[in-house]
Amino acid sequence: MRFVVVTGLSGAGKSTTLNFLEDAGYYCVDNLPVQLISEFAKLLSENDEIERAALGIDVRTGAAFDELETALEQIKAMGISYEILFLESDDHVLVKRYKETRRLHPLAFGDRIEVGIERERKKLSNIKKHAAHIIDTSQMLTRELKAEIDKIFVSDMDYKNLYVTILSFGFKYGIPSDADLVFDVRFLPNPYYHDDLRPLTGADKAVSDFVMSFEEAHVFLDKLEDMIAFLIPNYISEGKNQLVVAIGCTGGKHRSITLASALYERMSKYEDYGFKLEHRDIGKDSARGK
């Protein structure tokens, strides 16, 4: 039997994840009292009809949550294997989600949401250390989270323990606040000054061919790929599970899109990690009538 314990920060997607697992054939129970977890696991292990099960548990259980590690040790002592899936998100994302749903944080106790999140992080710090899988949902769409859950718990594919977003942007619209690494490609000739290329974007072949016609673009990509390939395993060893690589030009329409797309194509061959490509400002000029 495969037994998954789903936990993590409130608002990070635990209920959504349990729904995905249930749809995939897992027997799911949410927020079972901690005192009943070992008995629940024992009953599952004795039921030959249940091959996969998932248990959602979080700080809503109150003071009893502090007994979770003890309950898991009891399960282990009974010879029942389990794996912990820990879901987390950045503080500003969690605050936004709580404000949108107008729900109260379970540990806020009348204080600000940020205070409740800080208390929860401290309370979950030990259980996070024992997690087999940690997924940061800060920048994930629902379908992207479902894809990761399917890979890990349905298709039994190797878990992508680092998710890398390669993001193009325009400096005139500001540097992305969530960027870990920022690279400026304004040293390359600007297609904007060519009338036939100005209305196009880096997603168009004509612009891409123009940008990549310069040797400097290829040298830049070679060095950037080499550096990111070096950094990724070192970031993982320090516990990082999400990386945002931002590549910017003036308007985020030509050079940055070309280089971000080319980098994504190169990095996608590193199958041990997950990659996605985003163009933050690709349509902003046209939206402003420029």
Quote the pLDDT of residue 284: 82
Quote the pLDDT of residue 86: 94
| Sign of the torsion formed by the C-alpha atoms of 146, 152, 158 and 164 | positive
**Alpha-carbon 277 to chain mean position:** 13
Quote the pLDDT of residue 239: 66
Residue 72 phi, psi dihedral angles, 5° rounding: -70, -35
Quote the pLDDT of residue 288: 39
Chunked into runs of 10 residues, the chain (290 residues) has average pLDDT values of: 92 93 92 89 88 89 79 89 92 88 80 89 88 90 88 68 87 93 97 95 96 97 96 81 91 96 93 86 62
Residues 6+ apart with CB under 8 A from 246: 167, 168, 169, 175, 176, 179, 181, 182, 183
Number of Cα atoms under 13 Å in the Cβ half of residue 272: 4
Decide: 26 and 152 in contact? Cβ < 8 Å: no
CATH 3.40.50.300 positions along the chain are 2-153
Quote the pLDDT of residue 257: 97
On whether the pTM is more than 0.75, the answer is no
In three-state secondary structure terms, 30 is: strand
Quote the pLDDT of residue 166: 95
CATH of 2-153, one of 3.40.50.300, 2.70.98.10, 3.30.70.60, 3.40.50.1820: 3.40.50.300
